[in-house]
Amino acid sequence: MTDYALEIAHVPVQGKEDGLLKVRAGEFRAALAEPSLCALLSAELGGFSHTGEAECTLYGKPFFPRSPRAALKKGVAVVTPEGALAGDLSLTDHIRLLPGMLCGKKKARQKAETLCEAYGFSLDLAEPAGNLSAGDRFRGEILLALLRECRILVLCQPETALTPLELEALAAGLRKACKQGKTVLMLTCRLSAAALADACDALFPEPDDAPPERLDIAVGSVVLEARNLTGGELRDVSFEARAGEILAIAGLPDSGKQTLLDVLTGALPLSGGRLRLNGREINDYSVRERVRAGIACVPGAEENYGFPLENVSVGESMALRRYREPAFQESGFLRKREMTRYAEDTLAWLNIRRGEEETSENRRRCALNRETDGNFHALLILNPTAGLSEDQARDIWNRLITLRDERRAVVLLTADAREALLAGDRVLTLYQGEITGAFDPAVTTEKELGLYMTGRRQDGEERFDEE
């Protein structure tokens, strides 16, 4: 029997031919890897899919789970930020549904509470999982894995669901679990997260943490002004985006960023508040009128980053928000040739080969290019670098900074505190549809921002002191 609980050979690491990842039993180890590698390893270990690219060994025996159930049977539980909880069921219900756990609500609750206390989690066990925050859902899944008495716990990219402070608290809990014989492997693409573990393997060259270059440019006039916006889950959201400034709005998943984006683009009607673009009220403008007025937008993964390709061609996607303009249509007929030519030019300019448009990175680049190719005043962009590697993210941030330097207003809605601080000139935090604070990225830490992303709030007077 080997001392290693888990060995993964042939890890497809950039630059190295054969990566090897070894985790001893009872160890809390982190692996620093690109997002795609994190996803691959977690899918392989959790039995979500089998690519055969990595060769796993569990306690000296080959380990190729064919399904999540098979992986759990062997004592390996994988927790991903996407999660596997049913939105309508509470954590207590989930616990009662675990195999071999047939018991009443009360008993299930007691068991969960004991564990929560032992590892320092504070979770609402009765609330439906769909209403919990992303961080609580992540911790909830860890709790379920522990209740299943798994031997090896694999966490995939916990930093996307948890704030830095939450992650630190979780790490402390996990260390306790390790002392009781569990083995924890944390797959992450963030150095600060990896540093929390007892040991760390770097499966790709360490990213340099220096912020992208900034030019000091005087901030201009207010371009996009939102006053007391309400609608959907938004409550009294007010902010101003100025020309030559990147305003970052940081909020965890489900904090209302998507709703805010929909309200700003006009896809969702406002139920109260005022929205102005360059001083003109645009409350009643439709999506199309807002595009014409100069609001550009690159949405998130749910809308395929604004570059859909299922039922529409590349050319049509490239003209997605402008196909009613005379350049792309003539008395109701699409000018397909123009669209194709425009798309081909753009793809060539972006250095994207034909057939490679469908990756999520290229979708984002295409959409960003399309939206910023015309005359626009404000760009809204949602989670632009989620799931991208450090280099790819840097490209996108540099593009945003270029736009800022061209005196446009950029509103960056992101779930990533680090991204907000690196790319933003001013940062607001959003929690449950409310702005909880305004920050200067030069003097704010990720941890501090994390606190406000999870519910702490600045005083009313303090909130807009920078404006």
Partner 1 sequence: MRNKGFRSFGRALLCLCLGLLLGAAAMIGVSFLALGEFRWETVCQEGLLPLFTGGWRDGPLALLGRAAPDVLLALGISLAWQGGMLQLGGAGLYALGAAAAMLCASLTGLPWYACLGVSALAGGLWGAVPGLMKKRLRLREALGTALTAWMAIYALQAFSGLIAWEQSPMPDLFVPALLIAGALALLAWLSVRFTVPGLDLRLLGESEKTARYAGVDTGKTAFWALCLSGLLGGAAGGLDYLLGGVHQLPDLSLALTGPGLHGLAAAALAGGHPLGAAIAAVAVKYLSLGVGAMNGAAFSPEMGEAILALILYCCAALALGRKGGRKA
Q: Which of 287, 327, 374, 447 binds partner 1 (CB under 8 A)?
A: 287
Name the CA dihedral angle for 307, 308, 314, 320, rounded to a multiple of 10 degrees: -70
Choices 230-238, 317-325, 344-352, 392-400; region in contact with partner 1 by CB under 8 A: 317-325
- Residues 430, 442 contacting (CB under 8 angstroms): no
Q: Is 303 in the site for partner 1 (CB under 8 A)?
A: yes
Q: What are phi and psi of 216, to 5 degrees?
A: -85, 110
Q: Is 329 in the site for partner 1 (CB under 8 A)?
A: yes
Q: Is 320 in the site for partner 1 (CB under 8 A)?
A: yes
Q: Is 98 in the site for partner 1 (CB under 8 A)?
A: no
Q: Is 310 in the site for partner 1 (CB under 8 A)?
A: yes
Return the number of the residue (100 or 332) whose C-beta is nearest partner 1.
Answer: 332
Give me 386's structure tokens.
């989620």
Q: How far is the CB of 58 from partner 1 (least distance, A)?
A: 21
Using CB under 8 A as the binding rule, the residues of this chain from 35 to 54 that contact partner 1 are 43, 48-50
Q: Return the number of other C-beta atoms located less than 10 Å from residue 219's C-beta.
A: 14
- Beta-carbon contacts of 314 under 8 Å, excluding residues fewer than 6 positions away, are 340, 343, 347, 357
Choices 192-200, 270-278, 282-290, 406-414; region in contact with partner 1 by CB under 8 A: 282-290
Is 436 exposed, middle or buried (CB count within 10 Å of its CB: 0-12, 13-18, 19+)? Answer: buried
Give me 178's structure tokens.
């390790």
- Kindly state the number of chain residues that form the binding site for partner 1, as judged by CB under 8 A: 31
Give me 288's structure tokens.
């199309």
Choices 26-34, 107-115, 321-329, 457-465; region in contact with partner 1 by CB under 8 A: 321-329
Sheet holding 61-62, edge to edge: 19-24, 4-11, 55-58, 61-62
Task: Tell me what percent of the chain is helix, strand and coil, each rounded to the nearest 5.
Answer: 35, 25, 40
- Residues 121, 143 contacting (CB under 8 angstroms): yes
Q: Is 375 in the site for partner 1 (CB under 8 A)?
A: no
Q: Is 368 in the site for partner 1 (CB under 8 A)?
A: no
- Residues 143, 112 contacting (CB under 8 angstroms): yes
Choices 135-143, 235-243, 249-257, 310-318; region in contact with partner 1 by CB under 8 A: 310-318
Q: How far, in Å, CA of 300 to CA of 288, rounded?
A: 19
Q: Which of 140, 158, 173, 299 binds partner 1 (CB under 8 A)?
A: 299
Q: How far, in Å, CA of 205 to CA of 34, rounded?
A: 10
Return the number of the residue (59 or 323) whose C-beta is nearest partner 1.
Answer: 323
Q: How far is the CB of 384 from partner 1 (least distance, A)?
A: 16
Q: Which of 160, 24, 140 is nearest to 82 (CA)?
A: 160
Choices 213-221, 304-312, 393-401, 444-452; region in contact with partner 1 by CB under 8 A: 304-312
Q: Is 347 in the site for partner 1 (CB under 8 A)?
A: no
Q: Is 238 in the site for partner 1 (CB under 8 A)?
A: no
Q: How far, in Å, CA of 165 to CA of 94, rounded?
A: 26
Q: Which of 109, 257, 321, 364 binds partner 1 (CB under 8 A)?
A: 321
Choices 115-123, 174-182, 316-324, 395-403; region in contact with partner 1 by CB under 8 A: 316-324
- Residues 207, 35 contacting (CB under 8 angstroms): no
Choices 171-179, 325-333, 392-400, 412-420; region in contact with partner 1 by CB under 8 A: 325-333
Q: How far is the CB of 132 from partner 1 (least distance, A)?
A: 24
Q: How far, in Å, CA of 272 to CA of 293, rounded?
A: 21
Q: How far, in Å, CA of 275 to CA of 384, rounded?
A: 24
Give me 384's structure tokens.
């632009």
Return the number of the residue (70 or 103) whose C-beta is nearest partner 1.
Answer: 70
Q: How far is the CB of 311 from partner 1 (least distance, A)?
A: 4
Return the number of the residue (227 or 324) whose C-beta is nearest partner 1.
Answer: 324
Q: Is 304 in the site for partner 1 (CB under 8 A)?
A: yes
Q: Which of 164, 306, 387, 441 binds partner 1 (CB under 8 A)?
A: 306
Place of tokens 């029997």: 1
Q: Which of 333, 337, 351, 443 binds partner 1 (CB under 8 A)?
A: 333
Q: Return the number of other C-beta atoms located less than 10 Å from residue 87's C-beta.
A: 11
Q: Is 288 in the site for partner 1 (CB under 8 A)?
A: yes
For residue 55, the one-letter residue type is E
For residue 370, the one-letter residue type is R
Q: Which of 17, 213, 302, 461 binds partner 1 (CB under 8 A)?
A: 302
Please give the residue ranges that form the binding site for partner 1 (CB under 8 A). Answer: 43, 48-50, 265, 267, 286-288, 291, 297, 299, 302-304, 306, 308, 310-313, 316, 320-321, 323-324, 329, 332-334, 336
